[in-house]
DNA sequence: TTGTACGCGTTATCAA
DNA sequence: TTGATAACGCGTACAA
């Protein structure tokens, strides 16, 4: 068993409460005894029990992070950002994988509740509305990153999907493309809608008609596969360029292009979304919309801290920008 | 405040201990009251406090996982495996990033101790020996995955680095290569040594002399950069093939090849280690040694469970195999 | 089968 | 400035 303040108290011939005070920044204690106790505690290898502290203060200094899988590089980067801010604020983070299973996701949230986390952050949820009732039922703040359902109950945060998508499509238009396809993710209703909206808006603003055949929404939850499935649709519609829901979709699509003898960017320009590391070293290097996922994670945790402290969350605007690489070029004549 | 067993007891006109018993599998309770209490607890939205339970049982059902960063796909996959087994065994996992900073790593371990985790798993540590003293000092089991320092104090687990490396180099030899380079990771002493040993062993067994000029150990901690730096060394030594410490190193190396006009595999065959997802969609697709990182994580957690239960850890043998793709071919004549 | 009383390690409210 | 004492929510030996 680890040493307790009781052990220290006996050793120092003081009461446990004196020890407790010495170990905090409690003003009601003499400087000399304070120093003496602290030194003794150090020497005895005392490590305070967060468990006992939590029980009495009713605060655990933990947050629960729900993710699908850390194998997704987008998720991993967001988690990294969350963890960094949490660590600096003396919070520890619980990680719980849902593996895309709503039932498991609810189970994870339940264990977080049992553990009395101070807040919950959900990254890339597939569950949705359920959080509404949870939020109203209990008092644990819940923040959803890139929510896939609208709900008035929980807070949320995300990059400007519409703006980013517009930027991507405007880039293609500037290169002379008119037949621009979109391969979307049907299993991510909200962000997909926003990105598709950016796509259509950019087209409309350039007086280019929106052609439904150019829009592919494969019934598929795997990013890579989705791209492989989507490429046949956009090629059938004679697209000269395609904007993909995200980088991994673009990578899957470019992969399929290689198999079909379609040259990128010679015959088809490709733009992604996210700017994961692989975008830089794939051939051809992927033109994409960079969203700073690490900062997204940081912002999520910062917002969570405000929520915990019952302050108004800061209005964080997440940066995004176009990164032009080798997967896009002027329209073939 | 959440409802407690006390609240339920009042509502049901029984004592708190009866409630406690009803909520567990305690035999000393009537079936009817047990059912009644359980239903009532459900209705009142009771969620047991893991904090209070931990305090009295002296067990938290948590484990701490120390990593460098979840942005590393290798780490992410291992963590996924750990989390899965942990979740199935009713353990929650704390995640702590060291960001390659030994001081921060120790701080993370310290917070895990304060939180009274039942065990600690360290993935890809850069700290080393320090865990020895920690382990002997306290009683929390520590397991190091892919340890980078030998120590008799903590347990460890890893794939057979030497065997995997031999397999890789034997593949190149079978393709007729004789001038085979190695680009290693000097910041990962143990695993790098083992892989290098596999490299030299395979050469020696084939009666090929080990040439030091063909071995490059760039002073660099970033995988991608390391590959970019290493390529000049092995090319200067006129290598026709190169085995890289890991996939990301190979990717960086192949990247640099593209810039130097070196054709892969035409002029240089490349083999990696790990088989991360990017290995499948990079061009040319990377021949590599597949180590099942997810299973490595699972095995780590299974071993940890045995450690916690003071059983002898099972002797887990991790599978690995050669995956031949497009980055290797017969030696140019 | 059920209830009483105590303890887990710590903070916090009182007195002294 | 210090020391008793009561919480915090739960498990459990012991008594009823």
The DSSP bridge partners found for residue A273 are A289
Phi first, then psi, for residue A12 (nearest 5°) are -100, 0
CATH of the domain at A18: 1.10.260.40
Q: Are residues B23 and B85 in the same domain?
A: no
Average pLDDT estimate for A224-240: 96
Specify the pLDDT at position B132: 53
Look at residue B71 in the predicted model and tell me its pLDDT: 92
**A33 nearest nucleotide via C1' and CA:** D1
Q: Distance (Å, rounded) from C-alpha B14 to C-alpha B204?
A: 78
Residues A216 and A129 in one domain: no
Here the tokens at position B21 are: 């018993």
Which bases on strand C have an atom closer than 7 Å to a protein beta carbon?
A: 1-5, 7-13
**For position B109, which CATH number holds?**
3.40.50.2300
> What was the pLDDT predicted at A132?
53
- Please report whether residue B169 resides in a domain: yes
Give the C-alpha distances (Å, rounded to integers) separating B301 from A111, B68, B125, B262, B308.
19, 18, 16, 43, 10
Strand B241-244 with A215-216, pairing: unpaired
pLDDT at B25: 76
Q: Is residue B302 part of a domain?
A: yes
Separation of alpha carbons B80 and A167, rounded Å: 34
Alpha-carbon gap, residue B197 to B155, rounded angstroms = 22
- How many whole angstroms separate alpha carbon A28 and alpha carbon B305? 45
Q: State the nearest Cα–Cα gap between A76 and chain B, in angstroms.
A: 5
B149 and B191 fall within a common domain: no
Residue at A170 is within a domain: yes
Residue B273 and residue B166 in one domain: yes
Average pLDDT over residues A307-323: 89
pLDDT, one tens digit per residue, over A131-168 is: 655 544 557 999 999 888 777 667 889 999 999 999 99
Q: Is the pLDDT of residue A225 over 80?
A: yes
CB contact under 8 A, A97 and B76: no
Residues of chain B found within 8 Å of residue A83, distances taken between Cβ atoms: 70, 95-97
* Tens-place pLDDT, residues A99-122: 988 899 999 999 999 999 999 999
Question: Whole-angstrom Cα distance, residue A268 to residue A245?
Answer: 16
Integer distance in angstroms from CA B197 to C1' D7?
A: 62
Answer yes or no: do B194 and B237 share one domain. Answer: yes
List, for residues A160-210, the tens digit of each pLDDT value.
Answer: 999 999 999 999 999 999 999 999 999 899 999 999 999 999 999 999 999
Looking at the structure, tell me whether residues A128 and A199 fall in a common domain: no
Co-location of A111 and A72 in the same domain: yes
pLDDT at A136: 47
Does residue B182 share a domain with residue B225? Answer: yes
Burial label for B209, CB within 10 Å (0-12, 13-18, 19+), is exposed
Chain B 53-82 residues whose Cβ is under 7 Å from strand C: 55-56, 58
Q: Which chain B residues contact residue A228 at CB under 8 A?
A: none
* Strand C contacted by A23 CB (< 7 A): yes
A263 domain residue, yes or no: yes
Counting the structural domains of chain B, the total is 3
Task: Give me the residues near strand D, CB below 7 A.
Answer: A 13-18, 21, 27-30, 33-34, 52, 55-56, 58; B 1-2, 4-6, 16-17, 20-21, 23-24, 26, 46, 48-49, 51-53, 55-57
Mean pLDDT per segment of 10 residues, for chain B of length 333 residues?
Answer: 90 90 85 89 94 97 97 95 98 96 92 97 71 60 87 83 97 98 94 97 98 96 94 96 97 94 96 96 95 96 95 85 97 85
A212 and A244, same domain (yes or no): yes
For residue A239, give the nearest of A252, A230, A248, A247 by alpha carbon.
A230
**Residue A102 belongs to what domain range?**
58-159+293-319
For residue A50, give the nearest of B52, B114, B258 by CB distance. Answer: B114
Please judge whether B94 and A94 are an interchain contact, meaning their C-beta atoms are less than 8 angstroms apart: yes
- The candidate with the shortest Cα–Cα distance to A251, out of A220, A232, A222, A228, is A228
Q: Same domain, yes or no, for A168 and A235?
A: yes
In a domain, B331, yes or no: no
- For residue A313, what pLDDT band results from cuts at 50, 70 and 90? confident
Confidence at residue B210, expressed as pLDDT on a 0 to 100 scale: 97
Task: Over range A234-241, report the average pLDDT.
Answer: 96
CB contact under 8 A, B87 and A108: yes
Q: Is residue B242 part of a domain?
A: yes
Residues A36 and A119 both lie in one domain: no
Let me know if residue A332 belongs to a domain: no
Q: Does A261 map to a domain?
A: yes
Q: Token match 């180099």: residue?
A: B169
Q: Please check whether residues B85 and B178 belong to one and the same domain.
A: no
């Amino acid at each position: 068993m680890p040493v307790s303040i009781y052990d220290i108290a006996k050793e120092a011939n003081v009461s446990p409460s004196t020890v407790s005070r010495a170990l905090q920044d409690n003003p009601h204690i003499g400087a000399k005894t304070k120093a003496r106790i602290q030194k003794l505690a150090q020497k005895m290898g005392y490590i305070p029990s967060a468990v006992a502290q939590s029980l009495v203060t009713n605060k655990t200094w933990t947050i629960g992070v729900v993710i699908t899988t850390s194998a997704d590089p987008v998720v991993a980067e967001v988690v990294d950002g969350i963890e960094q801010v949490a660590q600096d604020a003396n919070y520890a983070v619980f990680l719980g994988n849902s593996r895309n299973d709503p039932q498991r996701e609810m189970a994870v949230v339940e264990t977080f509740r049992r553990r009395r986390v101070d807040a919950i952050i959900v990254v890339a949820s597939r569950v949705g509305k359920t959080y509404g009732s949870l939020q109203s039922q209990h008092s644990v703040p819940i923040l959803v990153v890139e929510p896939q359902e609208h709900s008035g109950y929980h807070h949320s945060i995300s990059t400007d999907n519409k703006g980013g998508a517009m930027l991507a499509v405007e880039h293609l238009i500037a290169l002379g493309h008119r037949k621009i396809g979109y391969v979307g993710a049907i299993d991510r209703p909200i962000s997909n809608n926003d990105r598709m909206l950016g796509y259509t808006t950019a087209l409309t603003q350039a007086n280019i008609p929106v052609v439904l055949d150019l829009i592919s929404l494969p019934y598929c939850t795997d990013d890579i596969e989705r791209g492989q499935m989507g490429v046949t649709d956009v090629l059938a519609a004679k697209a000269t360029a395609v904007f993909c829901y995200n980088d991994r979709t673009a990578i899957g699509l470019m992969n399929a292009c290689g198999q079909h003898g379609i040259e990128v960017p010679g015959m088809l320009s490709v733009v992604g979304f996210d700017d994961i590391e692989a975008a830089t070293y794939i051939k051809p290097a992927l033109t994409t919309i960079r969203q700073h996922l690490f900062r997204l994670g940081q912002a999520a945790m910062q917002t969570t801290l405000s929520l915990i402290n019952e302050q108004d969350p800061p209005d964080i605007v997440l940066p995004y920008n176009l990164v032009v690489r080798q997967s896009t070029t002027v329209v073939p004549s």
